Amino acid sequence: MSDDRGSAGRVRKILAGPAGDGQRLDNFLLRELKGVPRSRVYRLLRRGEVRVNGGRAKPEYRLAAADLVRLPPLREAAPGVETPTRVPDSLQAVVRDALIHEDQRILAFNKPAGLAVHGGSGLSFGLIEALRALRPDEPLELAHRLDRDTSGCLLVARTRAALREVHALLREGQVEKHYTALVAGRWLLGRKKIDAPVLTHARQGGERMVRVHAEGKQAVSIFDPREHYRDLASLMDVEIHTGRTHQIRVHAAFAGHPVAGDEKYGLREFNARMRDFGLRRMFLHSSVIAFRWAGSKQRVVIKVGLPEDLARVLAGLPRKTVAQD
Spatial contact of 74 and 10, defined as CB atoms under 8 Å apart: no
Select which of 4, 21, 103, 147 is catalytic.
147
147 catalytic per annotation: yes
Q: Which residues are catalytic?
A: 147
